[in-house]
Amino acid sequence: MTTFKIQPLARFAGASTSIRRPREITHFSYDDDRKLYPLSDRSLQYYYPPFIDAPGEPGHGRPPIDLSNGFETFKKHDDSIDEHLDSLLETLMAHEQEEGQRVKSDVVTWRGIMTKIMTAPFDLFNEFELNATCFQGTVFIEENHASKAADIKSQRDNSRSHNRGGPSQEMMQYWGYKFESLALLSKPWAEATREEIENRDAKPVDSEAQYCSIVTTGIGGTSMILGGEVDAVMGAKPDNPNDPIPWVELKTAQQPVTQKDDVKYERKLLKFWAQSFLLGVPKIIVGFRSPDGHLLKLMEHETQKIPSMVKRQGQGTWDGNTCINFAAAMLDFIKSTVQGDGVWRIQRRQKDGFIEAFQVDGVDPKSIVTPAFRAHREQI
């Protein structure tokens, strides 16, 4: 077993190491039955402001929006199914076949996994349990699904005992998706009818459909292929594929009232920032809500300005450069540890000041990198 110390953080402070701007190389969609469409943008959504009754908003004067509306018909994705890296690899394979060449990278993983790694220095409750394997010099990293399922269950049990009488964890999760459906259109503005725009509150909410962007990016000496969901585009994707895409990330958060709430929100901003930074999402739109789930107002953040805002005007609960430098060092650690055949477990337990890596038996490397993807990479 090898360990990587998180503390002391001072060794990651200072200017940030080099970063490669994330560029979308390809993408895929899941439809509302979770059917995968590699290379398709059929589930791409377009941002159009929700109608909130607040001064200056397009919905000023309208009745308040209850984010609980339609909870009974929520079509929720079943996260007890282990999806591994399958859709990412299937799409990458289709893309490489189309291009006739492979996309080189040191690491292939989901954006959500990199978010957990990046935020580890400042998020004491952050836990992860990953499986990693090396194939042809590239490290593929997935979540160990058994631990993820246990994690979801314990979060649920926890919130049941803490939230007696208050909204359930399921309801609060629904609010996030409901906000998305109030703020999105399935067509560009110009093609959407007034009816579609006006009737978004009546639309059933589902968390099965997704548009996922696959990007190449890099932190320090490590190049990566990352896949992750993007909520929407502002306007449209640019014609020139080299131009940055005006992506929008939507979030909900309880409207901060007290100073304690401000600190809580600042900690949330760490996750919002890291998640969006990794895919190159330039804008985050937060729907502030009341404790009982009424939408109160919108707040826009430019992703790249969040770290300096937290440092200058906030309580300084986290530092973006430290996260980037930590991630670079962590990736070096992973590359030097995960070599040859076999599967490594990379884990961080709550409040631990270190990350552990050790080889595990009983996890088939082919469950991480599929036989079809291996065969494809052996040929191209």
Pick between residue 16 and residue 115 the one whose CB is nearest to ligand A3P.
115
Residue 252 contact, options ligand A3P, Mg ion, none, Cβ 5-8 Å cut-off depending on partner type:
ligand A3P
Smallest distance from ligand A3P to CB 368, Å? 21
Q: What H or E segment, with its residue span, contains residue 311?
A: helix 306-312
Q: What is the spatial distance between Cα 238 and Cα 258, in angstroms, rounded to a whole number?
A: 41
Pick between residue 147 and residue 173 the one whose CB is nearest to ligand A3P.
173
Smallest distance from ligand A3P to CB 335, Å? 26
| CA 220-225-230 angle, 5° bins | 110
At a CB cut-off of 8 Å and minimum separation 6, what does 240 contact?
Answer: none
Smallest distance from ligand A3P to CB 357, Å? 23
Q: What is the spatial distance between Cα 48 and Cα 51, in angstroms, rounded to a whole number?
A: 9
Q: What is the spatial distance between Cα 119 and Cα 318, in angstroms, rounded to a whole number?
A: 9
Smallest distance from ligand A3P to CB 252, Å? 4
Pick between residue 132 and residue 281 the one whose CB is nearest to Mg ion.
281
CA R_g for the chain:
21
Q: What is the spatial distance between Cα 207 and Cα 215, in angstroms, rounded to a whole number?
A: 22
Residue 40 contact, options ligand A3P, Mg ion, none, Cβ 5-8 Å cut-off depending on partner type:
none
Pick between residue 220 and residue 228 the one whose CB is nearest to ligand A3P.
228
Pick between residue 50 and residue 121 the one whose CB is nearest to Mg ion.
50
Q: Which residues bind ligand A3P (CB under 6 A)?
A: 173, 176-177, 231, 251-252
Residue 107 contact, options ligand A3P, Mg ion, none, Cβ 5-8 Å cut-off depending on partner type:
none
Lateral strand order in the sheet of 247-254:
65-66, 294-302, 283-289, 247-254, 232-233, 46-47, 184-185
Pick between residue 127 and residue 319 the one whose CB is nearest to ligand A3P.
127
Pick between residue 11 and residue 76 the one whose CB is nearest to ligand A3P.
76
Tokens of 142: 């997935």
Neighbours of 356 (CB within 10 A): 16
Residue nearest ligand A3P by beta-carbon distance: 176
Smallest distance from Mg ion to CB 185, Å? 16
Q: Which residues bind Mg ion (CB under 5 A)?
A: 229, 231, 250
Pick between residue 110 and residue 344 the one whose CB is nearest to ligand A3P.
110
Smallest distance from Mg ion to CB 89, Å? 21
Lateral strand order in the sheet of 128-135:
2-5, 354-360, 343-348, 128-135, 138-143, 107-110, 222-229, 210-219, 19-30, 36-38
Residue 173 contact, options ligand A3P, Mg ion, none, Cβ 5-8 Å cut-off depending on partner type:
ligand A3P
Smallest distance from ligand A3P to CB 289, Å? 9
Tokens of 242: 């080299």
Pairing between β-strand 222-229 and β-strand 107-110 as defined by DSSP bridges = parallel
Asked whether 250 and 183 are in contact (CB, 8 A), the reply is: yes
Residue 319 contact, options Mg ion, ligand A3P, none, Cβ 5-8 Å cut-off depending on partner type:
none
Residue type, 246: P
Smallest distance from ligand A3P to CB 251, Å? 4
